Amino acid sequence: MAVDPKEVKRRATQVVRQLKKDYPDAECALHFSSPLQLLIATILSAQCTDQRVNMVTKDLFKKYPTAAHFVRVRLATLEKAIQSTGFYRAKAKNIKACCQQLVDEHDGQVPEDLDALVALAGVGRKTANVVLGTAFGIATGVVVDTHVGRLSHRLGLTAARPKDAVAVERDLMSVLPRREWIDFSHRMIHHGRQVCGARKPKCDACSMRSFCPQVGVEG
């Protein structure tokens, strides 16, 4: 079925307006105090809850405050420290390789550039968008995690499959003003956790029920 671009943009405006009302102070759930910490926390968050990541990074960032510290730590030691986040061997390897690149190519600092970020070990477009948007306030794209993908599909903002993050992001970038890209993701994630769950969305309690087409939602 054909989708009217004007209708999608109109609904996107409604979604943005309502999310602002519901979650005016929404921000990244990962705890960090520097771009490096956010970068590492985001790498650790793959297939892991933000709550678990925050528990792990609380001590991790005290022990290893800079990229150089992560370069020097033994791989086995780092693996043990992050084991509870899952896929810890691959994550530890990527963190060490990423930090080595930061030390060798960027004086130990996280670059404020999309291409430079995605060139780092363990960093894809989603992670780069998180770091650039949340740590630097640079809107290079829309962060699409499982919540954003699911809600964007249900709200009719994209015809792409919820798990196709690249396609979902492309559609969202076409209907959302750039100034909204960063906060939109934070607010959608909050809404996905609190109201529009994967298995049992609370449609009756949703503030967007009057205009949500509920695509794919079983009534």
Kindly state whether residue 219 falls inside one of the protein's structural domains: no
The verdict on 127 and 147 lying in the same domain is no
The verdict on 95 and 60 lying in the same domain is yes
Task: Find all residues with CB under 8 Å of 218, minimum gap 6, and list them.
Answer: none
Rounded CA-CA distance 185/182 in Å is 6
Q: What is the CATH number of the domain that holds 132?
A: 1.10.340.30
Cα angle: 36, vertex 40, 46; to 5 degrees: 150
**What does the pLDDT look like over 158-203, one tens digit per residue?**
999 999 999 999 999 999 999 999 999 999 999 999 999 999 999 9
The verdict on 97 and 115 lying in the same domain is yes
Give the number of residues written for the chain: 219
Q: What is the CATH number of the domain that holds 180?
A: 1.10.1670.10
The verdict on 96 and 150 lying in the same domain is no
**What does the pLDDT look like over 128-147, one tens digit per residue?**
999 999 999 999 999 999 99
**What does the pLDDT look like over 4-34, one tens digit per residue?**
889 999 999 999 999 999 999 999 999 999 9
Kindly state whether residue 214 falls inside one of the protein's structural domains: no
The verdict on 40 and 106 lying in the same domain is yes
Rounded CA-CA distance 161/158 in Å is 8
pLDDT over 60 at 3, yes or no: yes
The verdict on 112 and 43 lying in the same domain is yes
Domain boundary among 136, 155, 186: 136
Q: What percent of the chain has pLDDT over 70?
A: 98
Nearest Cα residue to 191 out of 48, 18, 8: 18
Active-site residue set: 126, 145
Domain boundary among 106, 136, 166: 136
Kindly state whether residue 211 falls inside one of the protein's structural domains: no
Kindly state whether residue 127 falls inside one of the protein's structural domains: yes
Alpha helices (runs of H) in the chain, residue ranges in sequence order: 5-22, 35-44, 50-63, 67-72, 75-82, 88-106, 114-118, 125-130, 136, 146-154, 165-175, 181-194
The verdict on 42 and 115 lying in the same domain is yes
Phi/psi of residue 110, nearest 5 degrees: -80, 125
Domain boundary among 95, 114, 136: 136
Which domain range does residue 181 map to? 5-26+142-205
The verdict on 155 and 100 lying in the same domain is no
| Dihedral over Cα of 207, 24, 183, 36: its sign | negative
Q: Does the global pTM surpass 0.85?
A: yes
The verdict on 40 and 102 lying in the same domain is yes
- Total domains, the chain: 2
Kindly state whether residue 71 falls inside one of the protein's structural domains: yes
